[in-house]
A and B are shown apart, each in its own frame.
Chain A
Amino acid sequence: MLSLKLSRWLLGYVRFDVHSGSPERFYTCCARSGAYLWDIKPGISGGACILARKYRTLRSNARRAGCRLKVTERRGLPFLLYRTRGHAGLWAGGAAFCLIVYLLSLRVWCIQMPDNNSIPREKLEAELASAGLTRGTLKSSIDPQAVSERIMLKFPDIRWMSVNLRGSAADIVIRCKTEKPKIADLKSICNIKASATGQILSMKIFAGTPAVKKGDAVTEGQLIVSAVVVDQSGGSTLTHASAEVTAETKHSFTVSVPMKKHEAVPTGRTLYRRNFEIFGARLPISLHGKPQGSWRISAEKFDVSLFGTPLPIGMYEERWEEVRVKDSLMTKSQARAAAEAEIMKQAKSAMKDGRVTGKKITEKWGKDNLTATALLNCEENIAREAEIYLK
């Protein structure tokens, strides 16, 4: 039925009304003369449809039946084209439209990437660009296999990758590697020694013979758990000693904080520069040029998507905030807080799983700086494996 309607529309048809006379006779005459009528309406002013080029043949039949015909509708492609005969611009526009659509469909306009925490999006985009996959690249010039191989070589975290070209979109699919768990090397023989000087608070021995006990004071490098295990019969075996030894330790850190600081203070003047992005081209829609002076810039990009598919249009907005570099002097409390923060930062990096239980900070105020020395009481695991090499 659809094909019938389509062929009628392509050939063009007219709907006409039949007035006066005998419509039945007219329809019969038409049928006998070979005219194909459809959608015949009953009544005094009934009518029917016929192919446009056959309409003229109905006149003699209408005369014979004493009817008058009146065309009420003209439909189909021939009439559509006829209406635009005097508008060369429309034809040119249509042709240009078809040409532009064809040319644009030869290129990649959307690159769909999954959000992946292990690989930053910007890095991946930059690497794809260097591999030859950017917005506006000719599809025929892209080798998806080569692009994916290159990216996989660049990012060892990627286990599998695929570049799928669908229409004008490139769909990137990435599967990351799962990290292997760290397997403890239990085949080697090792003692447990103290990594710092302190007093032992608790001991958990998993393997080996303890050389010290809870409450003992140990120095750095002292043996805590021995790899030699003596059995009941008096024989000795060597093992991979393993233990968790929590001790109270002391650490000293010295930091120097300058009292003068240079900071960029916003003046309150902000400027927005907006660009409209279409097919990879950036068209400025703000009249502001690049301002002179000290400015802090932040940029944001808005992509337009339709039903989850990103379109090659978007908005790029730059926010320019004027700043003034100001030298200021810190107050004593500010300097103290900054020094303490720096000390805690250093302590955290020195002790991985320890905690600070107490601190004593001595301050030395200079002309333009504060030197703070902190003596920290800490609780930490001081067990450190020391391998024994046997020949």
Chain B
Amino acid sequence: MHTPENLFSQTGLSIKGHMELNGNHEAVVEGCSGILEYGETVVRVCMPGHTVRFTGRGLNIQCLTADALVVTGYITGIEFLS
């Protein structure tokens, strides 16, 4: 059985933190350290060691705390940038 961390490891990525997707309209990101870019079509979030880029339409940050955020909207893509 592959845990999410192992799955990312197999793809060559080493990701720390936790991300949970609810369909394609909500993403809960835990362990983020800041927002790099925020617009209606793109949200770039800084994670330890890499960056996650959400693309879509009508994106919105529902709530933000020191180490977590919730992105809502019509998410069409998630990219992991090192």
A-to-B contact residues, CB < 8 Å = 23-24, 27-28, 30-32, 34, 36-43, 46, 48
Q: When chains A and B are docked, how far (Å) is the Cα of A34 from the Cα of B64?
A: 10
A42-B39, A42-B40, A43-B40 known; A28-B62 Cβ under 8 A = no
Counting chain A CB atoms within 10 Å of each CB, which of B37, B46, B63 scores highest? B63
Q: A42-B40, A43-B40 are in contact. Are A27 and B35 (CB under 8 A)?
A: yes
- CB atoms of B63 and A28 under 8 A apart: no
Return chain B residues, CB-CB under 8 Å to A36.
Answer: 63-65
A31 and B34 within 8 A (CB): yes
Q: Is the Cβ of A34 less than 8 Å from the Cβ of B37?
A: no
Given A42-B39, A42-B40, A43-B39, the answer on whether A32 and B34 have CB atoms closer than 8 Å is yes
B36 — which chain A residues lie within 8 A by C-beta? 24
A30 to B60 alpha-carbon distance, docked (Å):
17
Is there a chain A Cβ closer than 8 Å to B75's Cβ?
Answer: no
Which residue of chain B has the shortest Cβ distance to A23 in the bound complex?
A: B38
- Between A24, A36, A38, A48, the greatest number of chain B beta carbons within 10 A of the residue's beta carbon is seen for A24
- Secondary structure dominating the interface of B: strand
In angstroms, Cα B60 to Cα A48, docked, is: 11
The distance from the CB of B24 to the nearest CB of chain A, in whole angstroms, is: 18
Interface centre among B34, B40, B69 (most CB of A within 10 A): B34
Q: Which residue of B lies closest to A41 (CB)?
A: B60
Q: Are B66 and A31 in touch, CB under 8 angstroms?
A: yes
Shortest distance in angstroms between B35's beta carbon and chain A's nearest beta carbon? Answer: 5
Is the pair A46, B64 in contact by a Cβ cutoff of 8 Å?
A: no
15 A-B pairs besides A38-B63, A42-B40 with CB distance below 8 A are: A24-B35, A24-B36, A27-B35, A27-B61, A31-B35, A31-B66, A31-B69, A34-B66, A37-B64, A38-B62, A38-B64, A39-B63, A40-B63, A41-B60, A43-B40
The list of the 5 closest CB pairs from A to B, nearest first, reads A28-B34, A40-B61, A38-B63, A24-B35, A37-B64
Measured CB to CB, the nearest residue on chain A to B71 is: A40
Residues on the B chain within 8 Å of A39, using CB:
60, 62-63
Q: Which residue of A lies closest to B67 (CB)?
A: A31
A30 CA to B40 CA in the complex, in Å? Answer: 20
Interface flags for B51-66 (1: CB within 8 Å of A; 0: not) read 0000000011111111
Q: Residues of B contacting A34 with CB < 8 Å? A: 66
Q: Smallest CB-CB separation from B63: which chain A residue?
A: A38
Q: Which residues of A contact B61 (CB under 8 A)?
A: 27, 40, 42
A36 to B59 alpha-carbon distance, docked (Å):
19
**CA A380 to CA B46, docked complex, whole Å:** 110
Bound together, the chains give a CA A38 to CA B36 distance in angstroms of 17
* CA gap between A28 and B34 in the complex, in Å: 5
Enumerate 30 A-B pairs (CB-CB under 8 Å) in ascending A order: A24-B36, A24-B37, A27-B35, A27-B38, A27-B61, A27-B64, A28-B33, A28-B35, A31-B64, A31-B65, A31-B67, A31-B69, A32-B34, A32-B66, A34-B66, A36-B65, A38-B64, A39-B60, A39-B62, A39-B63, A40-B60, A40-B61, A40-B63, A42-B38, A42-B40, A42-B59, A42-B61, A43-B39, A43-B40, A48-B64
Least CB distance from B55 to A in Å reads 13
Alpha-carbon distance A30/B65, docked complex (angstroms): 8
Question: What CA separation (Å) do A74 and B60 show in the bound complex?
Answer: 22
- Tell me the complex Cα distance, A48–B61, Å: 9
Partner of B64, one of A30, A42, A43: A30
Chain A residues lying within 8 Å of B69, measured Cβ to Cβ, are 31
When distances are taken between beta carbons in the complex, the residues of chain A under 8 Å from B46 are 28
**A46: contacting residue among B34, B37, B38, B65, CB under 8 A:** B38
Q: In the complex, which residues of chain A have a beta carbon less than 8 angstroms from the beta carbon of B66?
A: 31-32, 34
Distance between Cα atoms of A41 and B38 in the complex (Å): 9
Q: Which of A37, A42, A43 has the most chain B CB atoms closer than 10 A to its own CB?
A: A42
Find chain A residues with CB under 8 A from B37 CB.
24
Q: Which residue of A lies closest to B44 (CB)?
A: A24
Which of B1-44 touch A at CB < 8 Å?
33-40
Distance (whole angstroms) from the CB of B25 to the closest CB of chain A: 16
Chain B residues whose C-beta falls within 8 Å of the C-beta of A23 in the assembled complex: 38
CA gap between A40 and B62 in the complex, in Å: 6
Contacts of B64 in A (CB 8 A): 27, 30-31, 36-38, 40, 48
